[in-house]
Amino acid sequence: MRLATGSAGARILAFGDYQPARIVTNDELARTIDTNDEWIRSRVGIAERRIAGPEEGVADLAFHAGGKALAGSGLSAADIDLVIVATCSAETLVPNVSATVAHRLGIIAPGAYDVNAACAGFAYALSNASDAIRSGSARNVLVIGSEKMSQWVDQTDRANCIIFADGAGAAVVTGSDVPAIGPVVWGSSGADADKIMIADRKSFLKQDGQGVFRWATTALHPIALEACVRAGVKPEELAAFVPHQANLRIVHSIARKLGATNAVIAEDIVNSGNTSAASIPLALSHMIERGEVPSGEPALIIGFGAGLTYAAQVIQIP
Ligand code: UT7
């Protein structure tokens, strides 16, 4: 017996993004908590972030980003047969976000599930999408990273409220003869699960910032390199490097240690803050829209965060 499979490869057709309208500057935060613009810019690299009001939830942000990606892809809602939402900040445990968003986008009866790998979630979900297409389980997949982190962060906790923000990014993935989404290199360190935590539904996010910083700047560049090796791309051949936007110092540390010498380095954190699972597709969507990265060239993405979890893969820029 020989069963049928799907496409030889998968590729991203288009990205989409959405951010709430409200911009919160460092100076605005400094009016209510003991912080200042200079500290935030030099330690984290953030100048401003977007924060959603009570009228917008994780599904709303996802709906807008997903709709934009779908419009840019040239496909219609009827073409999508799987929707995956990466999120760790949803208001509800059930129902999931993906089925609701699919319904609002007019996508009829797709497979629909959420992925929680925190800030690594988009890279995990993208890998799931690629594998589903190659196995024949799906033809076209809408992958969304969406977060309303502000509702899980104590807005008087200066260690965290200056960092985390709200937003969504999305990608439409389809089949291709030539693979354009490389093998994922993923993993986790559950022994460090207490380093970033929302302990229960009544608690706010807590993190061991220094501990996570040390881990991110020492353990992740070999993962990034391994993703390049498995894709058959040298770091110096990367046209773009788009790590999770956790801290600008982490972004440049990984880029330097990896040797991504010719890549455009994502600095979306400056104006978007840390949007967890949304940060990678949000950054890529912005970079493509601004014409900063060349279509058809390789980009490396790497997500990392609570769990601790991480995932990296090379993709072809649509
Ligand atoms: O997205 C999930 C993955 N998360 C990460 O990758 C986060 C990794 N960690 C980081 O990015 C950094 O550790 C932080 C941005 C969270 C913190 O930066 P830091 O350079 O590690 O600062 P720190 O926690 O060591 O604090 C240094 C000082 C402390 O004061 P003392 O004890 O030296 O007097 C803090 O109390 O800065 C103080 N501080 C602040 N000062 C002004 C902490 N937060 C603030 C603030 N404004 N907002």
Domains of the chain with bracketed CATH = 9-176 (3.40.47.10), 185-316 (3.40.47.10)
**Is residue 163 within 8 Å of 102, Cβ to Cβ?**
no
pLDDT recorded at residue 25: 98
Nearest to residue 151, comparing CAs of 60, 85, 244, 57?
57
> Beta-carbon neighbour count of residue 139 at 10 Å?
17
> What distance in Å separates the CA atoms of residue 182 and residue 200, rounded to the nearest whole number?
36
Catalytic residue among 119, 160, 161, 286: 119
Task: Report the chain's mean pLDDT, rounded to a whole number.
Answer: 98
pLDDT recorded at residue 57: 98
Catalytic residue among 64, 221, 244, 286: 244
Atom of ligand 1 nearest to the CA of 29: 48
Catalytic (active site) residue 128: no
pLDDT recorded at residue 204: 98
What are 199's two structure tokens? 């302990």
pLDDT recorded at residue 291: 98
User: Which protein residue has the closest C-alpha to ligand 1 atom 5?
Assistant: 246
**Is residue 273 within 8 Å of 244, Cβ to Cβ?**
no
Residue with tokens 């509702």: 151
Centroid of ligand 1 to alpha carbon of 73 (angstroms): 40
User: Which protein residue has the closest C-alpha to ligand 1 atom 42?
Assistant: 35
Residue with tokens 């992925």: 115
> What distance in Å separates the CA atoms of residue 174 and residue 278, rounded to the nearest whole number?
20
Angle at 231 between CA 67 and CA 135, to 5 degrees: 60
pTM, rounded to two decimals? 0.98
Centroid of ligand 1 to alpha carbon of 297 (angstroms): 36
Q: Quick one: angle between helices 279-289 and 121-135, nearest 10? A: 80
> What distance in Å separates the CA atoms of residue 54 and residue 151, rounded to the nearest whole number?
9
pLDDT recorded at residue 215: 98
Catalytic (active site) residue 119: yes
**Is residue 35 within 8 Å of 188, Cβ to Cβ?**
no
> What distance in Å separates the CA atoms of residue 33 and residue 81, rounded to the nearest whole number?
46
Angle at 16 between CA 105 and CA 225, to 5 degrees: 130
Pocket test for ligand 1, best of 162, 213, 220, 279 (most atoms within 8 A of CB): 213
pLDDT recorded at residue 205: 98
Catalytic (active site) residue 228: no
State which residues of the chain have pLDDT below 70.
Answer: none
Encode pLDDT of 65-101 as tens digits.
999 999 999 999 999 999 999 999 999 999 999 999 9
